[in-house]
Amino acid sequence: MRTKLRARLRQQRRTSNVHNIMAARLEAKLESKLESKLEANLGANAAKPKFNWQVLAATWLGEMFDGMDASIYVLVMYQCLSELIGSSAHSAVAPVGATVLAIFITGWVVGGISCGILADYFGRSKIMLATILIYAAASGLCALSHNWVELAFYRFLVGFGIGGEIGLGAVLVAETFKGRSRLHAASFIASSFAAGYLLAAIANLYLGHLGWRYLFLLGVTPALVTLYFRTKLKEPEHFEQVQQAKRIEREIAHACGVKVIREPFTLPQIFSRKNLAKTMAAIGLSTPAIVGYWAVLAWLPAWVTQMVGGEAIVERSVTAVALNVGGLIGALGAGLLVEKIGRAKSFRLANCGALLCGLILFGTIKEYGLLLLTVSFFLGFFAQGLFALLFIYVPELYEAKVRCTGVTTSITAGRIFAAMAALLGGQIIACLNGSYASAAILFSSVYFLGAIVSFFLPKHGEEVASYESEKFRAAPAIS
């Protein structure tokens, strides 16, 4: 009996050893197959520089229309809400305007986080296509609003689409370009938002006399860009590599007769011990930039209207042009600045510059003129430069399999504070008899926080990690 039992155990060990050897050989064979496919993909992408330019052009156009749709409300807020609430008093318009703005930013938060997670599972380009259709349609619906509640609902949808599209665009470009080219490509993409605001300002200058509804109808334009995305834009190499690794992992597991342990959900991964410091740094840098934009820069047109009196279409438009020409130059120059002085010092300089300009603009200037336009130019230069720096820095922090989730969540988290700041700003303005300048001065101090955070940035490789550099192999996690 014992002899038979020992013989059976020896046979089981031999079978197990053979199984392990076969599994190891199969794993090596499939991993070799994966490596050859990845090398082929790398060669194919290197041989197609045209693809890089398609990504750059398509992403820039999409995010330019983001900027236009986001900015139309800022430009027409006073005129729009005066009609919808039936009062032209700044103390009445400001709280409602702040509420609609906060709802828009909340939509941005929801869209940014949810679309970022979806993009890590289903692809960057596919989700970007959906987000553009959402915000284009919703912006057009704003023109049909009968009351401010309807407007707020449509602005939530606009924010949802824009929030998803902007973060994904930053990741798409970061994963397509490498080295110095990536720095300048990210700067170029960041300039698109200022270009969109500039386009909205020019449209307001020439179409503002027709009424605010016509300006919202311009928001339908981005739907045309989706045709380009549908026919031209493919998934970046980094995403394809991760997806291919997952497919081969399943093949190995199936061939070996074992179960694959699923990867953890992407959202908790960015708050793991490995990524927590990176995520907190990204949130600490993005919050001042975003709060500053929506609680300082966003009040600039309404402040000019209050200062000049009447509708002030020309003055509002010219101020917005000055602000966003500065923003364009600041964003485009961010890559050069990073090359010269590094990431941390660049964030420090941009935050300090925005703080100083905000205090000078809203604290010392009392009439519309050249000085106001000049300081607005420099405020745009530093404030928009911060977004370009975020587009350069934040994608470097995360590995490919959680990059969209990490970038969109960490940057979008700042918008939660921006929504609170917008609501608080509206109440401050109402309490101070409609003083937009007082609220802007208060919230300009947020840039000081960004300067402080720049002293505590975690060390990283200063490059967007690819599948290869992450050493993420196809060996399956099994149980």
pLDDT class of 32 with cuts at 50, 70, 90: low
Within a domain: residue 171?
yes
Within a domain: residue 37?
no
Q: For residue 478, list its beta bridge partners.
A: 260
- Has residue 22 got a pLDDT over 60? no
Share of the chain above pLDDT 90, in %: 25
Q: Is this structure's pTM higher than 0.85?
A: no
Within a domain: residue 320?
yes
Look at residue 243 in the predicted model and tell me its pLDDT: 62
CATH number of the domain that residue 336 is part of: 1.20.1250.20
- Has residue 416 got a pLDDT over 50? yes
Q: For residue 260, list its beta bridge partners.
A: 478
Gap between the Cα atoms of 22 and 406, Å rounded: 38
**For residues 181 and 255, which has the higher predicted lDDT (pLDDT)?**
181
- Has residue 140 got a pLDDT over 70? yes
| The three-state (H, E, C) secondary structure of 23-83, written as one string | HHHHHHHHHHHHHHHHHHHHHHHHCCHHHHHHHHHHHHHHHHHHHHHHHHHHHHHHHHHHH
- Has residue 469 got a pLDDT over 50? no
> What digits encode the pLDDT tens for the residues 224-253?
666 666 566 666 666 666 666 666 666 666
User: How far is CA 231 from its chain centroid?
Assistant: 23
**For residues 316 and 386, which has the higher predicted lDDT (pLDDT)?**
386
Question: Pseudo-torsion of CA 147, 153, 155, 158, nearest 10°?
Answer: -140
Within a domain: residue 42?
no
Mean per-residue pLDDT, 316-320: 89
Within a domain: residue 202?
yes
* Domain coverage including residue 152: 56-470
429 Cβ partners below 8 Å, 6+ apart? Answer: 90, 91, 94, 95, 98, 299, 435, 436, 438, 439
Look at residue 413 in the predicted model and tell me its pLDDT: 82
Residues 133, 223 contacting (CB under 8 angstroms): yes
Rounded to 5 degrees, what angle do the CA atoms 226, 167, 196 make?
A: 60
pLDDT class of 429 with cuts at 50, 70, 90: confident
Look at residue 25 in the predicted model and tell me its pLDDT: 55
- Has residue 287 got a pLDDT over 60? yes
> What digits encode the pLDDT tens for the residues 47-102?
455 557 778 888 888 888 888 888 888 888 888 898 899 888 877 888 888 889 88
pLDDT class of 479 with cuts at 50, 70, 90: very low
Within a domain: residue 40?
no
Average pLDDT of the chain is: 80
Gap between the Cα atoms of 468 and 242, Å rounded: 10
Highest mean pLDDT (candidates 279-283, 294-298, 402-406): 279-283
Within a domain: residue 13?
no
- Has residue 435 got a pLDDT over 60? yes
- Has residue 397 got a pLDDT over 80? yes
Q: Looking at the 3D structure of the chain, how many domains does it have?
A: 1
Q: What share of the chain is helix, strand, coil (3-state, %, to 5)?
A: 85, 0, 15
**For residues 329 and 267, which has the higher predicted lDDT (pLDDT)?**
329
- Has residue 23 got a pLDDT over 60? no
Both tokens of 266, joined, read: 């992407």
Gap between the Cα atoms of 118 and 125, Å rounded: 11
Residues 443, 379 contacting (CB under 8 angstroms): no
**For residues 473 and 394, which has the higher predicted lDDT (pLDDT)?**
394
- Has residue 151 got a pLDDT over 50? yes
> What digits encode the pLDDT tens for the residues 359-392?
999 999 999 999 999 999 999 999 999 999 999 9
> What digits encode the pLDDT tens for the residues 106-123?
998 899 888 888 887 787
Look at residue 256 in the predicted model and tell me its pLDDT: 62
**For residues 51 and 297, which has the higher predicted lDDT (pLDDT)?**
297
Within a domain: residue 44?
no
Look at residue 229 in the predicted model and tell me its pLDDT: 63
